[in-house]
Amino acid sequence: MNGDQFEESPLLTVRAENVAGVVVVAVEGEIDVDTADVVLDALRLGLSSGGPAVVADLTEVSFFGSTGISTLITAHEIADDHCTDLHVVAPHRAVKRPLQVTGVADVLALHDSVQEALSALKPVPSE
């Protein structure tokens, strides 16, 4: 999975790439009823790849409502089934606020950048 592009439309672009053994799914645009399946398919493929984690990079998501929330909940459940971690990058209010208001932020591992998410996955050397 090196730079796979899942779909490009006027509303949504989804790309997946392998970064040091971790699949990063970058989503740009609107996550709604018409586009959520593409996002979930990309996350599902990443979660079944056997890596330690998948990072959903939602930095460039401009619309995120109840469908986006349910998509992440489903992806989180799939991650549990695969004994994999799902990390979500949501630095902007458009995505972060709905997750906080609904309490979903308490269940997901939220980060402000892909680098922060990747750093969280690296074991801390013991002293």
The per-residue pLDDT for range 51-90, each reduced to its tens digit, is 889 999 999 999 999 999 999 999 999 999 999 999 999 9
Give the whole-angstrom CA distance, residue 127 versus residue 115.
23
Give the whole-angstrom CA distance, residue 6 versus residue 50.
19
Q: If you average pLDDT over every residue of the chain, what do you get?
A: 91
pTM score, whole prediction = 0.90
Q: Which amino acid is present at 1?
A: M
Domain ranges of the chain: 4-117
CA distances from 92 to 15, 57, 65, 113 (A): 19, 11, 14, 10
Give the whole-angstrom CA distance, residue 76 versus residue 40.
10
| CATH H-level superfamily of 4-117 | STAS domain (3.30.750.24)
Strands 109-111 and 4-8: unpaired
The per-residue pLDDT for range 35-53, each reduced to its tens digit, is 999 999 999 999 998 888 9
The answer to whether the CB of 42 falls within 8 A of the CB of 36 is no
- pLDDT above 90 covers what percent of the chain? 81
